[in-house]
Structure 1
Amino acid sequence: MSKKHKSEHHEEHADETWLIPYADLLTLLLALFIVLYAMSSTDSKKFQDMSKAFNIAFSSGIGVLEQSAVISNAHQFEDATETRRREANQDMQKKDIEALKQKEQEDLEKLKKQVDQYIKTNGLTTQLNTKLNQSQLTITISDSSLFAPGSAKVKPESRKLAVEISSMLQKYPDYEVKVSGHTDNVPINNKEFESNWELSSMRAIRFMDILLQNKKLDPHLFSTIGFGEYRPIAQNTSNVGRAKNRRVEVSIIRKYTDTSKDATVSVAAGK
């Protein structure tokens, strides 16, 4: 009896290469869902960072899961750009400030020369002088040329001086001006003033009043102060010293100061 041989059919293994792109797709979908979830609880800045990461990943072949490195690089690039921009702005500001300082120095030197020339021309070298330093230009006026003893009323013949100074100041209208009054240490107690504080303050105010009769000057930039006997420039032990201390000072204040160097220029007019 013949044996029948059953033929065995072996099925070929199915092609499983499709699993690779399928797994990649699942990975991308998983990453997408993670990103969507993160977006629901993140701020706009993080969203922008994530968007940059995906753009770079899909355009350059960088894996989405490597986005932290991409974001870090993006931050570094932005930081470096911002630093360069800030440094450039600072350089420009420094140049602008230096130019303004130079213009201010030229203005104050020119004003000082004008006042000095007026002092010399009118023979006032013993009554007025000027001083330019790193903070201000100061015009010092002896009280004897402005006021009678114990009075804050400007002498009629001295009003011309105040008017002349105001005319010079109007050429430089953007500077702050402070008028200060000073006395010696001899006490005063008359019907008008009870102390040197009051006398010095009122003398400063009265002189400023004449300056501001010039309507081209801005009153907002002017102020007065009385120092009484407490800012002496000489000893009060002699008549000469006390006479120096009795004074009115008109100070034109710098807007740009340089404390790194002392640019003091102190010249008595006519000397």
Structure 2
Amino acid sequence: MKNRRKHFDDEHEEHIDESWLIPYADIMTLLLALFIVLFASSVVDKQKFMSIMESFKSELTGTKIESNTTGLSVKPSDLEHSDQAPNEPQQQAQAAEENIEDQELLDLKGRIEKYIADNQLQADVSLQDTKRGVEITFKEVILFDPGRANLKESSYHTLDAIIGLINTVPNPISIEGHTDNVPIRNSTFPSNWELSSARAVSVLHYFEEKNVTKERLQFVGFGEYKPIFPNDSAEHKQANRRVNIVILRNS
């Protein structure tokens, strides 16, 4: 009896647990699959290789990739979580602000046009909408005496009306002086540079006195170097002697 039991125990001890073979076989299978894929990718074209690599990436990261005839693309649903997604609301807001500004400047241009027409100023004041903004052009004759930079008192009424309209928008304002090419040399203005700048400054100070916010104002004198016509006739020279008031776009 003892001999039979001992024989049974020996048989039991010799039995080895082989459950480790299952994960080992799985690992070997995966390695085999990997080697097959690597071998296959070495003989396919670049597009197929990229498809395989993106497939691995999608499995590891959870990103869904769709292939098409030109390559791989991410589904629109995945773009909602990309780094570019937060920029879309900002771009939409910026576009909305630009549309509002464009409309405000368009409305302002319409009101200034009406004022010019109602007061029959078309011969001396012109208006245009440019990329820079709304540009009001005053001929010299309405603002200054020849060779002088002090505003005429007769110009105050017109400037006051324009300032009232301009103050309906918050945009910056550029005041720009221009002359013809006739040289000026005196103790006050050694050249047309000084004359054009002094005229622009006179208009700027008038705006300042009328409580236009100083931070909105800037000026420049161009002298004779930005004519709108060749200085080949008295009429053209008169048109070139001007001051532009530009209500600038913010963007």
Q: Which of 172, 177, 196 is the aligned partner of 1:176?
A: 172
Cα distance in 2, alignment partners of residues 83 and 70 from structure 1: 16
Q: Which of 37, 60, 67 is the aligned partner of 1:73?
A: 60
Q: 2:178, 2:243 within 8 Å by CA — same for their partners in 1?
A: yes
Q: 1:166, 1:212 within 8 Å by CA — same for their partners in 2?
A: no
Q: Which of 198, 214, 222 is the aligned partner of 1:219?
A: 214
Any stretches of 5+ residues in structure 1 without a counterpart? 1-5, 25-68, 257-271
For the aligned residue pairs, the C-alpha RMSD in angstroms reads 2.9
In percent, how many aligned pairs have the same letter?
29
Amino acid at match of 1:229: E
Cα distance in 1, alignment partners of residues 204 and 186 from structure 2: 23
Cα distance in 2, alignment partners of residues 153 and 241 from structure 1: 23
Q: 1:181, 1:225 within 8 Å by CA — same for their partners in 2?
A: yes
Paired position in structure 2 for 1:152: 149
Secondary structure of residue in 1 paired with 2:209? coil
Secondary structure of residue in 1 paired with 2:197? helix
Q: Which of 184, 188, 192 is the aligned partner of 1:192?
A: 188
Paired position in structure 2 for 1:252: 247
Paired position in structure 2 for 1:202: 198
Q: CA deviation at 1:104?
A: 1.5
1:100 paired with 2:97, answer: yes
Superposed, 1:111-126 pairs within 5 Å as 111-126=108-123
Q: 2:137, 2:245 within 8 Å by CA — same for their partners in 1?
A: yes
Cα distance in 2, alignment partners of residues 7 and 201 from structure 1: 123
Normalization by structure 1: what TM-score?
0.66
Cα distance in 2, alignment partners of residues 251 and 196 from structure 1: 21
Highest relative contact order (Cα 8 Å, sep 6+), 1 or 2?
1
Cα distance in 2, alignment partners of residues 198 and 229 from structure 1: 11
Are residues 222 and 70 of structure 1, via their aligned partners in 2, closer, same or farther at CA, if it must alter by over 3 Å? Answer: same
Q: CA deviation at 1:93?
A: 2.9
Q: CA deviation at 1:75?
A: 7.3
Any stretches of 5+ residues in structure 2 without a counterpart? 25-55, 65-73
Paired position in structure 2 for 1:58: none
Are residues 72 and 177 of structure 1, via their aligned partners in 2, closer, same or farther at CA, if it must alter by over 3 Å? Answer: farther
**Alpha-carbon deviations, 1:200-251, whole Å to 9, x = none?**
0110010011112232x32112100000000000110100000000000001
**Alpha-carbon deviations, 1:71-95, whole Å to 9, x = none?**
9723747x98774244543432333
Aligned residues: 203
Cα distance in 1, alignment partners of residues 110 and 57 from structure 2: 65
Q: CA deviation at 1:70?
A: 8.4
